[in-house]
Amino acid sequence: MATKHRERRTARHTARSDRALVAAIRQLEAQLINTDQRELQDRADELRSRRYQRRPDWLSDKVLTEASALTCVAARQTLGHSLYDVQLLAGLAMTRGSVAEMATGEGKTFAAAIPAFIHSLAGRGVHVSTSNEYLSRRDCEQLRPLFEFLDASCGHISAQQRPVEKSAAYRCDITYGAGAEFGFDYLRDQITLRQKPATRLGEDFLEILRGRKLPLHNTLQRGLAVTIVDEIDNVLIDDAGSPLLLSGQPEGLATDAEAHLAARQLASDLMEGHDFHVDSGRGAIHLTDAGKTRVWEATDNAPLKCLLRPWNMYVEQAIRARMLFRRDVHYVVRDEEVIIVDQSTGRLFEDRTWRDGLHQAIEARENVPITGEKQGLARITKQRFFRLYPVVCGMTGTATGSEREFAEFYRLPVTRIPLRKPSQRKLLSERVFTSASAKWTAITQQIKQLHAAGQPVLVGTRSIAKSEHLAERLSHLSIPFELLNGKQDADEADVISRAGEVSAVTISTNIAGRGTDIRLTSDSLNRGGLCVLATEHHDSSRIDRQLIGRAARQGEPGSAAFFLSANDDLLTRHGDWLNKAITRSKSNNGELSVAMSSSVRKVQLQAERAQFLQRRALFLDDARRDVVMSRICGEAS
């Protein structure tokens, strides 16, 4: 209790200090507003010299005030944009190494410009990480004039670039890119450094004394110094369990394709409960004694010569592919290729495959060409990679509830940034149904009513299959809509940008256009603003809040509502007791008149706890590995 009291007292003191800093920034901004570019660049150079001279006051309040004021003036003169006070508060919080919780639509892109510029003064490079390449390119192009106005270079990396182009981007003061690409480039550099010929201790130093140049190693990055992470909760928490794995793709089809086909045939004959049990929580398959006997007996007809792993593992993966993975939920099939779907966003991972033969088992199930397994070249967890940066900070609209994890895993405090304008969002009563069919009928009818009234609607679904199910229902009613679920070729930002027009209906997976503005017309505002309909709850309440946060941004009118049925994934996987309670309840045409919000929250807490423990185990594994490696290195020296 005493620790929490001290933390609250420190937070209040920091908030008062930052408000005073904002006032000082505004005062200096007013003095500099008509200053020419050359003088502003000279002031920026003077700030850079403080860091180069290793002066202890290089990040003092005076430096923060002047650097922030320069950023504000540059934004006005190059982009015609005046930074809001809440953007300054968020920028100062990130500069100090904090997670800034900033509501959707409050302008996180411009808020990030402040820590990016200030930390660029150190000359070590700043990496601004976004959730996808489109957003990184957009933010880079938008803010490049601001940074260059202050004599700070700005670059962008992408997976399609040649090494020489990437290297040039990394040598800029500020580099934008998708978070995963920074990690993959780090792994590529580690492979390059591993290929360096071994030298005796002190040999490189002697070569320098003799006046000889050491051979250059063509690494892409110049080191990891500062990272600013957009949607930091999605990157460091939701996606933390997915390691960054740099792989080499073998040419041609899998040499063990025949084994996967044979395993698929055997798996289709095995019965759940008798031959195997499914642990859906862990995504595991456990063969019973009867199942093991059947698998052993089948070895007589198995293609043993082409096996790359024990025969029983092929069968277990075939069962997993059949029982735990669903098309248009966990993956899509496009051009005879299995593509993984990100379960937290609905985006497609075209460059990823499942490991240990699972991807090939799913290809066998879908009757598409069975590709060779990628060979792992290097691997690192996202938790471990981002902890390699000496300075980590970021921003999100939904950090509340994850403070413990940010503090324990990354030593990151969370700073809540106040709203620029009071929220007008209306959270409508949750509607509860005994069956999925009754729920979808009610959702369709509510969309029909809102569409007829001219109010724009954004409908969030948990999977591609469910988004397409709803699209089919609306088509039968001749209600026009836009579909955004990761399978379209249309630009995501273009689709979501039209979601605020009068009578617009947009169906989306959990992507919901994160990072892209939904601009409402005056007619839409007069009709109640954007209405967000969440067709079911996610395992994490944060993702629920991300979705409804699309409505009523920056003081605009708007509303949101949740729908729940006994068949929803959250209840069938984590809340069987609530599933049974809803099913047994009396209903009116399948709809209950009872509130379930508190019960749903209990189920989500259970799911969140299980996911937290998985991430904590990953974190502890990394920590133990660090201890072992440090001991090995100590003994070797």
For residue 116, give the H/E element and its range.
Answer: helix 108-120
DSSP category for residue 343: T
Q: What is the DSSP string of 53-92?
A: TT-TTTTSHHHHHHHHHHHHHHHHHHH--PPPHHHHHHHH
- What pLDDT sits at residue 262? 94
Residue with tokens 């990072």: 515
- Residues 339-346, mean pLDDT to the nearest whole number: 77
* Bigger pLDDT: 3 vs 333: 333
Q: Which domains does the chain have, with CATH numbers?
A: 2-195+216-246+382-416 (3.40.50.300), 256-373 (3.90.1440.10), 424-597 (3.40.50.300)
Residue in 354, 302, 381, 391 with CA at minimum distance from that of residue 118: 391
Question: What token pair was written down for 22?
Answer: 């904002």
pLDDT at 258: 94
Decide: helix, strand or coil at residue 285.
Answer: strand
287-341: pLDDT as tens digits: 999 999 999 999 888 888 899 899 999 999 999 999 999 998 889 999 899 998 8
Question: How distant, in Å, are the alpha carbons of 157, 407, 524 from that of 478?
Answer: 43, 50, 21
Q: What percentage of residues in the chain have a pLDDT greater than 70? A: 88
Among the listed ranges 10-19, 342-351, 537-546, 557-566, which one has the minimum average pLDDT value?
10-19
Instruction: At 397, list the tokens.
Output: 């609209």
Band of the pLDDT at 111, cuts 50, 70, 90?
very high
Cα–Cα distance measured from residue 30 to residue 184, given in angstroms and rounded to the nearest whole number:
43
Out of 430-434, 451-455, 564-568, 591-595, pick the least confident: 591-595
pLDDT tens profile 51-89: 665 555 567 889 999 999 999 999 999 999 999 999 999
Q: What is the pLDDT of residue 214?
A: 45
The Cα–Cα gap between 144 and 155 comes to 8
Contacts of 312 (CB under 8 A, 6+ apart): 287, 292, 295
Neighbours of 309 (CB within 10 A): 13
Say what the pLDDT of residue 368 is: 95
Buried b (16+ CB within 10 A) or exposed e, 565-602: bbbbebbeebbeebbebbeeeebeebbbeeebeebbee
- pLDDT at residue 54, rounded to an integer: 59
Give Cβ neighbours of residue 162 (< 8 Å, ≥ 6 apart): none
C-alpha triplet 24, 25, 27: angle, nearest 5°: 65
Indicate the residue type of 7: E
Query: Can you tell me which residue has the tokens 């395992």?
Result: 539
Tokens of 583: 């099913």
| Average pLDDT value over all residues in the chain | 88
Can you name the residues that pair with 387 across neighbouring β-strands? none
DSSP output for 208-276 = HHTTPPPPP---S-S---EEEEETHHIIIIITTTS-EEEEEPPSSB-TTHHHHHHHHHHHHH--BTTTE
Separation of CA 31 from chain center = 40
* pLDDT tens string 602-620: 999 999 998 898 888 888 8
**Helix or strand (DSSP H, E) at 185:** helix 179-194
Identify which of 464, 473, 472 has the alpha carbon closest to the alpha carbon of residue 442: 473
pLDDT digit string (tens) for 428-481? 999 999 999 999 999 999 999 999 999 999 999 988 889 999 999 999 999 999
**How many Å apart are CA 395 and CA 106, to the nearest integer?**
11
* pLDDT value of position 77: 95
Split at pLDDT 50, 70, 90, the class of 226 is: very high
DSSP 442: H
Q: What is the pLDDT of residue 188?
A: 92
List, in order, residues 6 or more apart from 581 with CB less than 8 Å away.
599
pLDDT digit string (tens) for 370-421?
A: 998 887 788 888 888 999 999 999 999 999 989 999 999 999 999 999 999 9
What's the pLDDT band for 18 if we cut at 50, 70, 90? confident
C-alpha–C-alpha distance, residues 459 and 509, integer Å = 8
- pLDDT exceeds 50 at position 513: yes
The single-letter code of the amino acid at 552 is A
Amino acid at 370: I
